[in-house]
Every structure is written in C-alpha cells, then in structure tokens.
Amino acid sequence: MNPAPNPRPRTPFLLASAAVASLALAGIAVQCSSPRPTEPARAAVADADGLRAWDVVYGVLQHPRCVNCHPAGNVPLQGEHLQLHAQNVQRGVDGKGRFDLKCATCHTAANTPGAHMPPGAPNWHLPTAAMPLVFEGKSKAELCRQMRDRAQNGDKTPEQLVEHMTHDPLVLWGWSPGEGRAPVSTPQAAFAQAARTWAASGCACPE
C-alpha cells in the first residue's frame, strides 16, 4: 500500500463518503479529465477525501476478478494469480474474442454451476483493442489518470464511470463470481460509495 497522500487524521471513511456521495447523487456535476481541471469550485469533495476514495476503488480494480479482463496484453487472464487464459483465447478487435473462441462461446449470461466451470454474466467481454483500458500492472497514479481520461476510458463522463462501476452486471459479477472463485474482498456498497466520492472530488489522482 502506498502511504496516504494527506497526513491529516482520517475521518471514518464510510461516514465521510456517505455524505459526499449524497451530494454527488443530488446532482452536483463534476468534470474529470486528464489533465484534471484545476478550478476548485468544480469539486464537491476535498482532494484528500477523493484520494482516500481512490485507494478503495484502486484496491477493487486490482482484484483478479477485475484485472483478469483488463490485461496488459491481448490475452485475458484467469484464476486468482493472473494466469493467461487457457485455449489461446485472444481479445479480438471488439474485445469479444476471435472466431470460434469468442467469449460467448463458453461464457453464458450466468455462472455455470459447479467448481471450475465457466463463469458467466451478461455481455462477457474485454475492452476493445483500440481502447484496452489496462488495469494489470498499473500504479495507483497511472490507473487513476487513465480512468479519468475520456480518451482512454471509453469516453465516459464521471457519472457514466460511476454508473458502469456500480450497476453494470459484468462489474457486479465480481461480487458473485460463482463456485471456486474469490469474490472482490471490498463490499460492493463500500466500493460504490468510494467510486461516487472519487468522482465527486473531480477524480482526484495521486501524483
């Protein structure tokens, strides 16, 4: 873990983030981009809170349930130790595999019952080849800058990022990955709050 960027004593994270999340949900718009706007009035949450929230978000994004489909190369990963996917499966241009080995060939809309059986969720896929949104091997600062950069994040606004991270069934699968796989260790509700807080901070990123 990197040291917290702000030395002031931490307030209980969930209480603080709940308050700022409610502000964000009330419609306070913030803008994230890379480089980030410096206009302080745009951020509804202090940088320090945003950075603490990013720590939580980053921890989730580095979990194998997330990294496995955000690899550094063009081969998806599998398992708990970022092994290359068996069967020579490849990303493909659209992130959905190639030829016979498309993701949907084996990954259906729901987990297949039983240990070591193919997991499943609606629209199982990787990011596209043109915008791979790599999580694997990224530092906190690198991934943060990538996430807030619309040229690298799928042209998502902060609101759209939060929506994706908190409601997309493929993301939510990380908390119910089926038998034999570790779910994301941070509770989903805490992750969702952290994501909202980070966005409300103007997508604060560590240096």
Partner 1 sequence: MPIDLEVNGKRVSVDVDPTTPLLWVLREDLALPGTKFGCGAAQCGACTVHVDGASARSCVLPISAVAGKRITTIEGLDGKFGAALMQAWTEQDVPQCGYCQTGQIMSAAVLLKEAAKPTDGDIDACMSGNVCRCATYVRIRSAIHRAAEIASGGGR
Residue 87 binds to partner 1 (criterion: CB under 8 A): yes
Least distance in angstroms from the C-beta of 92 to partner 1: 9
Q: Confirm if 180 and 23 have CB atoms less than 8 A apart.
A: no
Residue 42 binds to partner 1 (criterion: CB under 8 A): no
Binders in 117-156 for partner 1, by CB under 8 A: 117-118
State the number of binding residues for partner 1 (CB under 8 A).
20
Q: How far apart are CA 46 and CA 193, in angstroms?
A: 15
Span of 33-41, 114-122, 164-172, 184-192 interacting with partner 1 by CB under 8 A: 114-122
Residue 164 binds to partner 1 (criterion: CB under 8 A): no
Residues 6 or more apart whose CB falls under 8 angstroms from that of 51 comprise: 4, 5, 6, 201, 204, 205, 206
Least distance in angstroms from the C-beta of 64 to partner 1: 20
Least distance in angstroms from the C-beta of 103 to partner 1: 11
Q: How far apart are CA 188 and CA 57, in angstroms?
A: 10
Least distance in angstroms from the C-beta of 134 to partner 1: 21
Helix (H, G, I), strand (E, B) or coil at 190: helix
Q: How far apart are CA 16 and CA 23, in angstroms?
A: 11
Residues 6 or more apart whose CB falls under 8 angstroms from that of 130 comprise: 93
Least distance in angstroms from the C-beta of 128 to partner 1: 17
List contacts with partner 1 (CB under 8 A).
Answer: 86-90, 98-102, 104-106, 108-109, 112, 114, 116-118
